[in-house]
């Protein structure tokens, strides 16, 4: 790993220390605020800090600082193991690019810039998609063009200037008035803004000129056999695909943090719904069904977007329709069947200067728009 990559680890270390400080402060205080308390006290510095840190895990619908801390610690460990080629690294983080430090740096800067520019929208009292820059354009730009401060900072700025306001518009102008799941607005904002941003990068190549490519990392000796072990590992890795990590260690940290958050304050994660277990079960089931159904695509392509229902259809259906088992199973099955091939069909039609994640987020929007109302009709709340 070169010196610039090492320097890019500093924000990750600082964030982990900040998260640990919040954890220790909460333990000393002997209390954890539930989601309702947190969202109603955002004028207080500690509550605002918790909200920002919770944005890191919001893409999985957990929205809490502890799963965010777990994700970051697991990702740091996954990157360290990848650089050294350890067998236990699992699926190489950030698809073996070696760019995780820059992906994380750009994503974090995009999140912070977004809060500086758009944090005022939280004063409305309604939930707002302040997290979207962390899991969208900034990371995609690094993975497409390479690392370095120019790409990382410009990706973060474009994420804050384009992605966040686009998602705010979709959520507040379309989703809230039409009573649609907010995730549709989140991902539509990501897609539309990213198309504009990549077009700008093509028109003004100076935005990404001089991108750094990492020093080649040690290669893991693991050879996929696509058996039981690979299947279970793949399901676990899917939990951290949305922030572009795709690594079991990062996913394990995310899930441990989520369960710890629920144990300390059941009404804190998952927007206080107390449906965290149902959401995680549905997410795991959707990934498992997808991996089993599309195994041949995994073998042929080397990667396939079986993670899509985890961060869209399944949690949106459970939070909207309810947590009974029919909704959990049906949303997982429908998401696993339709979302991945739709994403690939869209991504294959994108120009080469755009990252394929645009197809993934469009698939999230379309499948959620189709499946959630269908399940709402089939399983009315309280009917099961």
Instruction: Note whether 234 and 222 are within 8 A (CB).
Output: no
For residue 147, the cross-strand partners are: 212
Residue 272 is given by DSSP the state: G
Instruction: Note whether 93 and 245 are within 8 A (CB).
Output: yes
d(C-alpha 239, C-alpha 309), whole Å: 10
Burial (CB count within 10 angstroms: exposed 0-12, middle 13-18, buried 19+), residue 24:
exposed
Instruction: Note whether 58 and 131 are within 8 A (CB).
Output: yes
Q: If you count them, how many residues does the chain have?
A: 384
d(C-alpha 157, C-alpha 143), whole Å: 16
Instruction: Note whether 109 and 153 are within 8 A (CB).
Output: yes
Burial (CB count within 10 angstroms: exposed 0-12, middle 13-18, buried 19+), residue 95:
middle
Instruction: Note whether 156 and 113 are within 8 A (CB).
Output: yes
297 phi, psi to nearest 5 deg: -65, -40
Contacts of 329 (CB under 8 A, 6+ apart): 282, 285
SS3 of 188-227: HHHHHHHHHHHHHHHHCHHHCCCCECCCCCCCCCCCCCCC
Q: Is 147 helix (H, G, I), strand (E, B) or coil?
A: strand
Instruction: Note whether 192 and 59 are within 8 A (CB).
Output: no
Q: Is 273 helix (H, G, I), strand (E, B) or coil?
A: coil
pLDDT in tens, the chain (384 residues): 444 444 445 555 566 666 666 666 665 555 688 999 999 999 998 889 899 999 999 999 999 999 999 999 999 999 999 999 898 999 999 999 999 999 999 999 999 999 999 999 999 888 999 999 999 999 999 999 999 999 999 999 999 999 999 999 999 999 999 999 999 999 999 999 999 999 999 999 999 987 776 555 544 445 678 899 999 999 999 999 999 999 999 999 999 999 999 998 999 999 999 999 999 999 999 999 999 999 999 999 999 999 999 999 999 999 999 999 999 999 999 999 999 999 999 999 999 999 999 999 999 999 999 999 999 999 886 554
For residue 143 the two structure tokens come to 């993975």
Q: Is 46 helix (H, G, I), strand (E, B) or coil?
A: helix
147 phi, psi to nearest 5 deg: -85, -165
């Amino acid at each position: 790993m070169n010196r610039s990559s090492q320097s890019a680890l500093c924000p990750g270390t600082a964030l982990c220390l900040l998260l640990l400080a919040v954890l220790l402060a909460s333990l000393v205080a002997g209390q954890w605020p539930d989601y309702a308390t947190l969202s109603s006290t955002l004028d207080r510095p500690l509550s605002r800090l918790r909200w920002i840190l919770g944005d890191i895990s919001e893409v999985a619908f957990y929205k809490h600082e502890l799963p965010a801390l777990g994700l970051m610690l697991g990702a740091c460990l996954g990157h360290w193991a990848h650089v050294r080629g350890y067998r236990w690294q699992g699926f190489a983080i950030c698809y073996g690019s070696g760019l995780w430090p820059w992906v994380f740096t750009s994503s974090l800067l995009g999140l912070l810039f977004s809060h500086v520019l758009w944090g005022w929208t939280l004063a409305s009292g309604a939930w707002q998609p302040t997290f979207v820059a962390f899991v969208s354009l900034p990371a995609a730009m690094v993975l497409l063009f390479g690392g370095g401060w120019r790409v990382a900072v410009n990706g973060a700025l474009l994420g804050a200037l384009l992605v966040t306001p686009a998602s705010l518009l979709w959520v507040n102008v379309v989703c809230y008035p039409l009573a649609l799941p907010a995730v549709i607005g989140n991902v539509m904002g990501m897609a539309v803004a990213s198309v504009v941003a990549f077009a700008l990068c093509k028109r003004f190549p100076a935005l990404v000129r001089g991108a750094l490519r990492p020093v080649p990392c040690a290669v893991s000796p693991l050879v996929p056999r696509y058996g039981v072990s690979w299947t279970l590992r793949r399901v676990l890795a899917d939990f951290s695909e949305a922030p572009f990590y795709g690594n079991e260690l990062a996913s394990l940290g995310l899930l441990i943090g989520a369960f710890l958050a629920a144990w300390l304050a059941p009404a804190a994660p998952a927007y206080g719904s107390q449906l965290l277990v149902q959401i995680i079960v549905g997410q795991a089931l959707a990934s498992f069904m997808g991996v089993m159904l599309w195994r041949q695509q995994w073998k042929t392509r080397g990667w396939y977007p079986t993670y899509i229902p985890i961060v869209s259809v399944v949690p949106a259906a459970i939070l909207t329709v309810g947590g009974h088992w029919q909704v959990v199973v049906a949303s997982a099955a429908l998401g696993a069947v339709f979302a991945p091939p739709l994403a690939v069909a869209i991504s294959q039609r994108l120009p080469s200067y755009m990252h394929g994640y645009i197809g993934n987020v469009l698939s999230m929007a379309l499948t959620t728009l189709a499946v959630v109302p269908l399940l709402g009709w089939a399983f009315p709340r309280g009917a099961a």
